[in-house]
Amino acid sequence: MIYSIKAKFNEEKMKEFFVKLTDGTIENQKPDGKEILSSMKRAKITQPGTIEWSEMCYCSPPLKHERQTVYDNYLSDMEINPIEDYVDFVGESFFEHLKKLA
């Protein structure tokens, strides 16, 4: 199932998040690390302090494992809604934003 996700991010934790996204820590996480990394590369800053992205997940509830292992450490106020297909949100690339902070 594919979901649309909207979440708040805290700038103070973003440098650490970027390191884990780029050093293999998250990418090598089974079973969902590659999808998390791909999702964060698709994520867009749609409002100050807010990102939106789409992600595939088969957990119940949606993104359960992803939240427990990654997202809840760096993001808050997540809104998760089922959608038919991936969405390319309009805004600044979240991943490029993180690169600038590193």
**Mean pLDDT in runs of 10 for the chain (102 residues)?**
96 95 96 96 97 94 95 97 95 96 83
Tell me what pLDDT residue 50 has.
98
Q: How far apart are CA 102 and CA 93, in angstroms?
A: 15
List CB contacts of 48: < 8 A, sequence separation 6 or more. none
Tell me what pLDDT residue 29 has.
95
Q: How far apart are CA 13 and CA 1, in angstroms?
A: 29
Statement: the pTM of the whole predicted model exceeds 0.85: yes
Q: Which amino acid, 69? A: T
Domains for the chain: give ranges and CATH numbers: 2-101 (3.30.70)
Tokens found for residue 87:
């969405």
Query: For residue 23, what are the CA distances in angstroms to 3, 17, 75, 94?
Result: 26, 10, 19, 17
